[in-house]
Structure 1
Amino acid sequence: MGKIRKSRKIVITVFLILTVVATGIAAFSSYKSSTSGMATDINDVVENGTPQIGDKLYLFCYQEQLFEVGDNLVVFETYLEDEDLNICVPIECEGKLSYRFSAEVVETDPGIPDKFAKGCRDYYQELYDKIQAKKATVDPGDSETMERIRKAEELTEGFLSDETYERDKNSITSYSFRATNTVDYFTIASVSKIAAAVLAIVLLYAVLGIWISGKKLALGSIALVLTISIISGVIFRKDIATMASIKEYAPGMYTCNITNDYYLDEMLSTDFKDTDSLISFLSKKLLGGMTLPIDAHHFGCSSFSCVTPEGTHLFGRNYDYMDTNGMVIYSNREGCYASIAVCDLQWARFAGVDPIAKPDSLLGRFVLRGAAPIMCVDGFNDQGLGISILSLDADENRPDTGKTDTIIILAIRGILDKCANVDEAVAFLSSYDVHSMFDKENHLFITDKSGKSVIAEWVNDELTITEINCVTNYVIATHEYDEDRRFVVMKTKLDEVNGVLSLEEALDLLNAASQNSESSVQTEWSCVYDLDNFVLYIYNDNDRNKVYKITPETFK
């Protein structure tokens, strides 16, 4: 009788194992088909020519490239620089289109081109009406504001012309994508992983329940949970501390105290020739293999340096981008300089049009503890060195001199952690082949408390250093900046006062050089870094009346 019971236990155990393994394989296949590299960027599909009608594709896109035309219809818009051609692809979908989706290629409905062109005209008509309403409230004697409004009027009127209407109609492709599955890939990936974990636990308890009594199993489970919790708490205490520190400090602004290791030395010794390879490294090392859609589009921005009448060196910075939120992070790791920097939360989709979660959610805390230190767009360290990144309308740099390859955004973290002044920062950049990020060109404004300020640019893939005290989004080395309003505003003021501004005047200058609703991007935050005293003054969304003071004490 005992042998029969034992044989039954063995048979049931084998059956459970086979059942769970089979289900696990199915879950894994679902996960791989949803999150692997099978998804194709719509930009690549468009650039490669017209797809075949009836083709079934697995696609991903960025929400910023989508234009809502009407119910169940959006248009994907991209620009083919080589052909100087604007291309718009209709996407038929039920409900909100997610980041990744399955689609079938179909012929475009004949009525869509007119519908799209009319939608564009209605959008710009609404914008024009807002500009007129703004104009009615401005003092005609305010020549600077009136000139900005005049330029906005001129630009918007161009979009309302019959010529633009026809151009918009003709930009619609002969094919459309009919979305057949719009479940967000991230949800599928998460569910698949959770399902795998649940299956593993079910298998373990099913097998143990056959061979061990219920009382012993319960006591053993409690002991196991306690042991794992204690060991995990010790091993991951710094990661847990970082995650726990993330909080909403002010509307649209978060703070975080980075205490965990983010593998900077290993990253700086690894060849990264493109952003995808860096993201892949972060995913494996810090995110448990989790794949995230990290991306950034062209951002405006401006930076300058000055000195107060008392001799304090200041570094000013406007970050101009689409609607987003920032997170101010403090890092004081052993062997590195302490730093305070600001990262853009939209890059990892924790802000903006289609966020996957809030920064202070469990998912946000887990991801940002690893990604935030490498997503900083401006900052300074306790040695009095400040740095900011600004976009350029120029060809991306891809140097190839045989040095270690790195990405410009990673270089920012390296400079903050390892360089004490401008000369050391320039030497740091010179020791790498620094590549653009997200297929877009950038340059770096670097300044220190000695008063030295430079712009680091890559002209014809060669590092070029120019001493200058202000910069926007034009190449300094080739003098392409002369007519930029923001540059002129800053340069004129700084020359007028010989580079001497009080803190309040520096904040006012940022406000004067900001971008507002008449621009395609907005000034999302404005910073003045006190390089001598390690203090950051920051305000959001052009709200000059709400300036926040950030110091290391803020993060305790």
Structure 2
Amino acid sequence: MKKMLKRTGLIVLCLVLAVAVISTILFRNELRSLYSLRKVDEYGMFQMTYYGDYGFDDFLITGATSDNDIESFVTKRLLKGLPIDLGITGDGCTAFVTRNNDGEIIYGRNFDFTYAPSLQVFTNPNKGYASVSTVNLSFAGYGRDNLPEGLSFNSFLTLSAPYLPFDGINEKGVAIALLAVPKADYSSDPDKITLNTTTAIRLVLDKAATVDEAVQLLSNYNIYFSGGIDCHYLIADAAGESVLLEYYDGKMQTVRPSGNYQIASNFIAYNDVNIGEGFTEFDRYNTVKAAIEKNKIGLTDEQALSLLAEVGVMDGATDKLQWSVLYNLTSGNVELFAQRNIHNIIHTQLDMNP
């Protein structure tokens, strides 16, 4: 009996070890990614490096015509069956592209919304460009009382991050961000694959080396806007080119700058229609414009960061600014902070490959 129990125990132990080894092999990239997850600001700001292939080329074969399609793909490909519920985007945001006092191209961006924890994620796909992007974790189901916790089951949904960027920069110096607008008017082409708000950003980060390439890539796809919140995109590159991409009058429209800088806020700028939400979008635009034009030799990083903190949206006594980021499209330097906390700047560096 003792021999039998001992033998049974050894068999069980071997099976447990075998399962552990197989699981480690099968989930090695997921585990490495989750192991890299760390909190960088107590407001609810995190960083993570995504290891392995997140299957974006496979996604581009079929695309998604609804959030349910994206949820199904991400659940099957990245989350090993764990469901995700995509629900919201953002409302009041501001972005600008200009030069700093060293002549480098900088791209500043605010994300304003109700409480939204964020994740700065680094990706390096085999068939695409390395990038760093900022993800709204509330889009993946996280909230103030439900935050990821390092290497734990509760953090598993952060593995969907490659499909949820709200802004970012790639190794070629192309930066992009989404900003909400009151309306978007776009006619779908049945012969084109459809992307949503955030996978359009992933397309640009992974595949575009210039602004013109980004515009061409996006023109090859239909788009729908998740959560029913219409958006436009400010795109810029290391050569100093920029464009505001809008969906208006049934088409994808491009708005090019008239000078050496470009600003985007929550109004439609195409053809000077200036359709806004009726809140602070024009005030924020004008504040940024005045600051850029006053500093003719270019903004310092400190001035740019302070400007982002200044134009974040206040709704009465409620501070809606969730994160701000300053991308240097020339050097790859990234400066990120949460809710006006310019005393805790998260400095990161993306290795550039022009």
Distance 1:423 1:343, change over 3 A: same
3-state SS in 1 of match to 2:16: helix
Any conservation in 2 of the 1:314–1:529 contact (CA below 8 Å)?
yes
Letter in 1 for 2:275: E
In structure 1, the residue matched to 2:58 is 266
In structure 2, the residue matched to 1:365 is 155
Letter in 1 for 2:128: C
Distance 1:541 1:483, change over 3 A: closer
Q: Per-residue deviation at 1:294?
A: 2.2
Any conservation in 1 of the 2:194–2:222 contact (CA below 8 Å)?
yes
Paired residue for 1:224, among 2, 12, 15?
15
In structure 2, the residue matched to 1:431 is 220
Q: Per-residue deviation at 1:521?
A: 5.9
In structure 2, the residue matched to 1:193 is none
Any conservation in 2 of the 1:332–1:339 contact (CA below 8 Å)?
yes
Paired residue for 2:35, among 223, 238, 244?
244
1:360-413 CA-to-partner distances (Å, cap 9, x unmatched) read 3622332212x1111111110111110101111115645235211111210111
Cα distance in 1 for residues equivalent to 2:318 and 2:191 = 39
In structure 2, the residue matched to 1:319 is 111
Q: Per-residue deviation at 1:243?
A: 1.2
Cα distance in 1 for residues equivalent to 2:190 and 2:290 = 39
Letter in 2 for 1:480: I
Cα distance in 2 for residues equivalent to 1:519 and 1:462 = 39
Q: Which runs of 5+ in 1 are unaligned?
A: 1-211
In structure 2, the residue matched to 1:501 is 299
1:442 aligns with 2:231: yes
1:392 aligns with 2:176: no
Any conservation in 2 of the 1:396–1:436 contact (CA below 8 Å)?
no
Paired residue for 1:488, among 273, 279, 286?
286
In structure 1, the residue matched to 2:327 is 529
Distance 1:431 1:512, change over 3 A: same
TM-score, L = length of structure 1: 0.58
Letter in 1 for 2:39: E
Any conservation in 2 of the 1:396–1:439 contact (CA below 8 Å)?
no
Distance 1:348 1:271, change over 3 A: closer
In structure 1, the residue matched to 2:69 is 277
In structure 2, the residue matched to 1:336 is 128
Q: Which runs of 5+ in 2 are unaligned?
A: none
Q: Per-residue deviation at 1:551?
A: 2.0
1:66-119 CA-to-partner distances (Å, cap 9, x unmatched) read xxxxxxxxxxxxxxxxxxxxxxxxxxxxxxxxxxxxxxxxxxxxxxxxxxxxxx
3-state SS in 2 of match to 1:484: helix
Cα distance in 2 for residues equivalent to 1:333 and 1:264 = 9
In structure 2, the residue matched to 1:463 is 252
Any conservation in 2 of the 1:396–1:441 contact (CA below 8 Å)?
no
Higher helix share: 1
After superposition, residues 84-233 of structure 1 pair within 5 angstroms as 213-233=4-24
3-state SS in 2 of match to 1:438: helix
3-state SS in 1 of match to 2:267: coil
In structure 2, the residue matched to 1:306 is 98
Cα distance in 2 for residues equivalent to 1:543 and 1:409 = 26
Any conservation in 2 of the 1:403–1:431 contact (CA below 8 Å)?
yes
Instruction: Determine which structure has more spread, i.e. the larger CA radius of gyration.
Output: 1
Any conservation in 2 of the 1:397–1:436 contact (CA below 8 Å)?
no
1:27-59 CA-to-partner distances (Å, cap 9, x unmatched) read xxxxxxxxxxxxxxxxxxxxxxxxxxxxxxxxx
TM-score, L = length of structure 2: 0.89
Q: Per-residue deviation at 1:522?
A: 0.8
Any conservation in 2 of the 1:359–1:368 contact (CA below 8 Å)?
no
Cα distance in 1 for residues equivalent to 2:88 and 2:11 = 49
Identity of aligned residues (%): 25
Q: CA RMSD in A?
A: 2.3
Q: Per-residue deviation at 1:347?
A: 1.4
Letter in 1 for 2:153: L
Q: Per-residue deviation at 1:495?
A: 3.2
